[in-house]
Amino acid sequence: MKLKITLLILSILFSGNSYCTEKLTIRLGILAFGTVNWELSALKNLNLLENTNFQLEIHPVANPQAGKIALQAGAVDIIVSDWVWVSRLRSTGADFTFYPYSTTSGALMVPENSNIRSLQDLSGKKLGIAGGEMDKNWLLLQALGQQYKINLNQSVEKVYAAPPLLNQQIIRGRVDAVINYWHFAAKLEAQNYRQIINGKEILQQLGIKQIVPTLGYVFNRQWADQYKTEINQFLKSTQTAKNQLCQSDSVWADIVSLTRVKDLITQTILRQRYCLGRIQQWGKQEQQAAEKIYTLLKNLSNKKLTGHSDTLHTGTFWTIDEP
């Protein structure tokens, strides 16, 4: 209830001012519990929208799938999703594009006293997996296992479940390890659970040295071309807000309640992991690395994740310095 009230207040603050009536209204479809809310709150607190050509209208969505449906139906202008999905849609004729939001990825977590120290130790163990059989971290972990002659898909007992449930499962000892999304992994880390490997490290060991975004802002490319100044202002302002959240303790303190955790240790680790996901570089090398990841995911999923396109679709990525 508190989060719904917070989102309602944010929506009023961003869209209800009379001086904004001539500005472009950007309709954001965001999760009530997503980290985008941290940046939106910081945007308002820091008055970062005062000199822009747009105003924000917040549309809460129940889950990521609901956000995708809203975007495709034209009910919202921007959501946060992944570039693999964008490429898949583009291959069917849709005109969506992706701009990086975060490089933070999930992690393989075990209890502190676990005898699991490497991928080899997972054999015969019960593994909880967030996101289902097509989860990107799980697919890439399988690819890494293949380098060590390990067929993880056959050697572990797989348990698919929602992220919060998986955390409860490992805490209660019902699974031996979990691959979970970054913020749920961070919450386990705060309780002295141990990280075996994270998504970035998996890619590095697979030979991909560039840091490639996991999530980003997704929007219609034709619409963005029409309002390029406003869209780029929005993207830059969110980056500024994120940097301030990471650099200023007072700015962080203003939004810490949105993390929905009360203990300082968990708050601190969430902030650390969130800040490690800041986009430091976004250019040709990162986009070429994404193409390599796409090929891996296409082969590992037998095209179930990527769709039938053999290559990452042209136009998938948006860059601020486009002509």
State the pLDDT confidence band at 20, using cuts at 50, 70 and 90: very low
Write down the pLDDT at residue 81: 97
Q: From CA 59, how far away is CA 76, in angstroms rounded?
A: 7
String of DSSP letters for 116-156:
--SGGGGTT-EEEETT-TT-HHHHHHHHHHHHTT--HHHHS
Q: From CA 220, how far away is CA 223, in angstroms rounded?
A: 5
Q: Are strands 177-180 and 126-129 parallel, antiparallel or unpaired?
A: parallel
Q: From CA 17, how far away is CA 299, in angstroms rounded?
A: 50
Which of helix, strand or coil describes residue 264? helix
| Average confidence (pLDDT) over 158-173 | 97
Q: From CA 152, how far away is CA 130, in angstroms rounded?
A: 16
Write down the pLDDT at residue 32: 85
Amino acid at site 57: E
Write down the pLDDT at residue 10: 55
Write down the pLDDT at residue 11: 55
Write down the pLDDT at residue 18: 38
Instruction: Check residues 5 and 247 and name the one with the higher pLDDT.
Output: 247
Burial zone of 78 (CB within 10 Å; 0-12 exposed, 13-18 middle, 19+ buried): buried
Find the range with the poorest average confidence among 5-9, 135-139, 239-243.
5-9
Per residue in 38-91, pLDDT (tens digit) is 999 999 999 999 999 999 999 999 999 999 999 999 999 999 999 999 999 999
Number of alpha helices (DSSP H) and beta strands (DSSP E) in the chain? 14, 10
16 has a pLDDT exceeding 70: no
End-to-end CA distance of the chain: 44
Instruction: Check residues 99 and 321 and name the one with the higher pLDDT.
Output: 99
Write down the pLDDT at residue 323: 41
264 has a pLDDT exceeding 70: yes
Domains and CATH numbers, the chain: 2-103+213-300 (3.40.190.10), 107-205 (3.40.190.10)
The structure tokens listed for 2 are 């508190």
Per residue in 194-235, pLDDT (tens digit) is 999 999 999 999 999 999 999 999 999 999 999 999 999 999
| Average confidence (pLDDT) over 271-299 | 96
| Average confidence (pLDDT) over 95-123 | 97
